[in-house]
C-alpha cells in the first residue's frame, strides 16, 4: 500500500490521458508526423499531389512547406494514406535506375 501524501489529484479525462501517454512513450511516437516533417519539399509535393488526386482541392501549393501538425485531422488521414501508397510503390522499384536505360533495344 502506498503512503498517503494528502494531495488531491485532479481527474484527467481519458482523451487527455491518451495524448499525454503518447508523448511520454517512444514506442508510440508519431511516425507519420516525423517522416512527413523530415521529408524534403519535393517529397511533400508528391505526397500532397497524390492526396489531391484522391480528394481534389484538398491541398494548395502553399501547403507544401507546412508541418504535419498544421493540417486538419481529415487532411492528415489523406497524407498518411498517400505515404502508405508511396511506400508500397517503393518496393516495386530498384534503388537506382541507370540513365542508359533510356536507350531501347529495338
pLDDT tens-digit profile of 38-72?
Answer: 999 999 999 999 999 999 999 999 999 999 999 99
In a domain, 73, yes or no: yes
In a domain, 97, yes or no: no
pLDDT of 1 strictly over 60: no
In a domain, 59, yes or no: yes
Nearest to 78, CA basis, from 50, 38, 42: 50
Domain count, the chain: 1
Tell me, rounded to whole angstroms, the distance of Cα 70 from its chain centroid.
12
In a domain, 21, yes or no: no
In a domain, 24, yes or no: no
Kind and range of the H or E run holding 19: helix 14-24
Structural domain including 52 reads 36-91
Q: Name 39's Cβ contacts closer than 8 Å, sequence gap at least 6.
A: 47
Cα gap 30→26, rounded to integer Å = 9
Amino acid at each position: 500500500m502506498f503512503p498517503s501524501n494528502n494531495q488531491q489529484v485532479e481527474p484527467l479525462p481519458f482523451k487527455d490521458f491518451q495524448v499525454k501517454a503518447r508523448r511520454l512513450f517512444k514506442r508510440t511516437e508519431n511516425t507519420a508526423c516525423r517522416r512527413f516533417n523530415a521529408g524534403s519539399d519535393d517529397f511533400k509535393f508528391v505526397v500532397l499531389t497524390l492526396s489531391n488526386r484522391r480528394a481534389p482541392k484538398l491541398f494548395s501549393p502553399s501547403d507544401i512547406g507546412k508541418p504535419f501538425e498544421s493540417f486538419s485531422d481529415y487532411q492528415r488521414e489523406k497524407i498518411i494514406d498517400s505515404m502508405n501508397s508511396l511506400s508500397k510503390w517503393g518496393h516495386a522499384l530498384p534503388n537506382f535506375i541507370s540513365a542508359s536505360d533510356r536507350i531501347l533495344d529495338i
